[in-house]
Structure 1
Amino acid sequence: MKTTTIWKGGKAFDSFKENSKIEIDAAGGFNPKALLLSGLAACSGIDVVDILEKMRVPFANLEVDAETEQTDEHPRVFKTIHVTYRLQTEEENREKVKKAVDLSLEKYCGVAAMLKKNSAIQYEIVITQ
């Protein structure tokens, strides 16, 4: 994997991977640490979708929030990360959703594996009808 990141001025950069581009701006918008949290949410979300589909669990509207506080001293790193998985499914599927999240965070999500070396990751599941 390779990315190329080009300074646009100020605290703004464009980052490219093949034919895709994201904008990074520490003065407003997505800064590097917000991208890291988004990467965790997307990585785990992809796993959860794949696992639930393989388990044939019907669900809709998956939303993953990742939240953390940073240490006060430099380098300012993440403290405990809290991830909330919100999805629409039947309450009877909660254990299967929990299994999917556990598999993601413990086995499949490489972003979680890297972040866990410094920050504990906690999660909760919110099921809506």
Structure 2
Amino acid sequence: MGTTNHISTKWLGNMAFESNNPSGHHVKIDIATEDGGDSSGLRPKALMLSSLAGCSGLDIAGLIKKMKLEVDEFHIETIANLTDEHPKYYYKVEIEYHFHGSNLKEDKLQRAVDLSVEKYCGVMEMFRRFAELEIKTVFHNK
């Protein structure tokens, strides 16, 4: 079997928690004030979207480096729809990969996106188990 991750999450009072990470960094989790929290941390479900974008982004950044591609800016927009009924979960997720530059090799960048989406990103694979994914690649040539 593969690697085991052990995360400790500590209640800080009211509705806030702090969770550690194998990197040694911590993240604070909380809910909105209108829901009884202090809005002092990241929302749990939204944090899942950051994990998804971060995982895929790391794959692509590695491939940009490996393929020696010129990209001035790269960002990922993640738009997700939650169910209306509890337990609320994401049933549809749209992931947009935006590349900016004056010398974009679109075919190679698209290949990098495809490799992440179809082969490398474990978080993407987890999302695929419960949500419909829509992938878009947008090239902004300067």
The answer to whether TM tops 0.5 is yes
Pair 1:44-2:56 in alignment: yes
Post-superposition shift, 1:55? 1.6
Pair 1:59-2:59 in alignment: no
Greater relative contact order (Cα 8 A, min sep 6): structure 1 or 2?
1
Post-superposition shift, 1:42? 0.4
Pair 1:3-2:18 in alignment: no
Of the candidates 98, 105, 128, which is equivalent to residue 86 of structure 1?
98
**Cα distance in 2 for residues equivalent to 1:34 and 1:14:** 16
Q: Which amino acid aligns with 2:60?
A: V
With over 3 angstroms needed to count, the CA separation of the structure-2 counterparts of 1:96 and 1:20, relative to structure 1, is: same
Post-superposition shift, 1:10? 2.0
Of the candidates 96, 100, 108, which is equivalent to residue 112 of structure 2?
100
Contact kept, 8 Å, 2:18 with 2:26, in 1: the verdict is yes
Gaps spanning 5+ residues in structure 1: where? none
**Cα distance in 2 for residues equivalent to 1:84 and 1:11:** 32
**Cα distance in 2 for residues equivalent to 1:68 and 1:120:** 10
Identity of aligned residues (%): 34
Q: Deviations over 1:69-110 (max 9, x none)?
A: 101112111021011112223475222111111110111000
Aligned residues: 129
**Deviation above 6 Å: which 4+ runs of structure 1?**
none
Q: Which moved more, 1:26-35 or 1:38-47?
A: 26-35
**Cα distance in 2 for residues equivalent to 1:50 and 1:115:** 22
With over 3 angstroms needed to count, the CA separation of the structure-2 counterparts of 1:127 and 1:11, relative to structure 1, is: same
Give the greater-gyration-radius structure (CA): 2
**Cα distance in 1 for residues equivalent to 2:42 and 2:77:** 15
Contact kept, 8 Å, 1:91 with 1:127, in 2: the verdict is no
